[in-house]
Amino acid sequence: MRVLEWVGEGQRRLEQTVDALPLTAVAEPSALPGWTRGHLLTHLARNADALVNLLTWARTGIRTPMYASPEQRGADIEAGAGRPLAEQRTDVRESAARFRKAAEALTDDAWSATVVSGQGREIPASQVPWLRAREVWIHLVDLDVGVGMETLPPDLAWALVQDVAGWMSARIGEGVGAQLTADGFGTVALGTPSSGVTVSGPPYALATWLTGRDGSEELHVTGELPVIPRWL
């Protein structure tokens, strides 16, 4: 499963990046408003555990939601954000190992089982690794330590473009849209492509723009760049 390779690649890069941080970095701001790097690292660890819950649900058939509640999710992140960097590093590694072990335990039938995402959508368990891959790579960038979206594997970046464009197409304004094109990967519709607007560039630049991390300066736009909703 290529997506599990993306998870592993992203985790290795994340661990290398976190290992290189100075001790003071954990309390410094991340690229996400209101969150320190400690918040972000704790979130990544708790996300791994939350997705283990979904894989456990798929394996056992016993309903196991990602989080007890949105409030509990937020409280867990706040509680862990101020921990020393050494503790954060260990948590990031051990939670990822739990995710990997849970994924390895699933049979083909279990991968097709239905679970419920954090947004309340029913999805097959086979989509859970994509949720993790997306989380690891994007938040690696959000640590704001010099790793940019261009670091994403091109095929993962294109998968992210397709994913986000599909999500946005149901939420973008009526009559608004564009054809999104990346050389060597193809074209995907965003909203109403009959508007005549085209947006092209490398997959990572399209993904950067769609996920609200700017990137528009690297895009070639025919017409007016559409105003898009905030993603997740």
Do the beta carbons of residue 42 and residue 76 sit within 8 Å?
yes
Distance CA 85, CA 25 (A): 8
Considering the domain architecture, whether residues 143 and 164 belong to the same structural domain is answered as no
Q: How high does pLDDT run on average in the chain?
A: 95
Residue ending a domain, among 117, 147, 177, is 147
Q: What is the mean pLDDT of residues 154-176?
A: 93
The answer as to whether 229 is a domain residue is: no
Residue among 145, 125, 139, 155 nearest 53 (CA): 125
pLDDT interval class at 193 (50, 70, 90):
confident
* Per-residue model confidence as pLDDT tens digits over 63-85: 999 998 989 999 999 999 999 99
Q: Does residue 215 register a pLDDT over 80?
A: no
Considering the domain architecture, whether residues 31 and 132 belong to the same structural domain is answered as yes
Indicate the number of domains in the chain: 2
Q: What is the mean pLDDT of residues 174-193?
A: 90
Distance CA 79, CA 86 (A): 16
62 φ, ψ to 5°? -95, 125
Considering the domain architecture, whether residues 28 and 112 belong to the same structural domain is answered as yes
Residue ending a domain, among 126, 147, 168, is 147
Considering the domain architecture, whether residues 135 and 216 belong to the same structural domain is answered as no
Sign of CA dihedral 154, 157, 163, 165: negative
| pLDDT for the residue 88 | 97
Distance CA 161, CA 141 (A): 16
Distance CA 228, CA 173 (A): 8
* Per-residue model confidence as pLDDT tens digits over 32-66: 999 999 999 999 999 999 999 999 999 999 999 99
Residue 65 belongs to domain spanning: 2-147
Looking up tokens 């190992």 gives: 97
